[in-house]
Amino acid sequence: MIRWLRLIATATIILSLIGLGVIAGLFLVANSGWVPVSIPPWLQGMFGDRPHEMWLPALIGGWLATAILLAAIVLWSMFYVWRRRQYESLINRLEKELAKLRNLPFTEPAPLEDLPETPSVAAARVMSSLGDDEDDHRADAR
């Protein structure tokens, strides 16, 4: 169902853009003359005081290109902010999970059932011999 909706939406957008292109092309062909463009007062120092002749299709094309570029910049910045918020959310979730894992021995200590019921004699001998070795090293160091 979603694939069909996506296909229909894509086809609608493509056909709309083709239709707009045809209309713009016909408009430019019908109005392919030169028009005088007067310079605003704040730009007269750079371009002069006389009006400039501009080809109308180029003028309209420049306006359309500017509008499309501005729309692309706005859409890209919205996408950038959206992706950045996703990344920050992921990092926050990972940091919380890491903090939880670091505090695991304090928040959920091992249950007593994991300890053996009776002490192991062999383990006691090993621990005793380890303790004796440490005492010997301390005596040698003095």
Quick one: pLDDT band at residue 139, thresholds 50, 70, 90?
low
Q: Which residue has the higher pLDDT, 97 or 120?
A: 97
What average pLDDT does range 119-134 have in this prediction? 77
**What pLDDT is stored for residue 120 in this prediction?**
80
Q: Which two tokens stand for residue 70?
A: 């501005």
Q: Which two tokens stand for residue 8?
A: 């229909």
Pairwise CA distance, residues 108 & 113, whole Å: 14
**What pLDDT is stored for residue 114 in this prediction?**
63
pLDDT tens per residue, range 32-49: 788 888 888 888 888 788
pLDDT at residue 116 greater than cutoff 80 = no
**What pLDDT is stored for residue 18 in this prediction?**
92
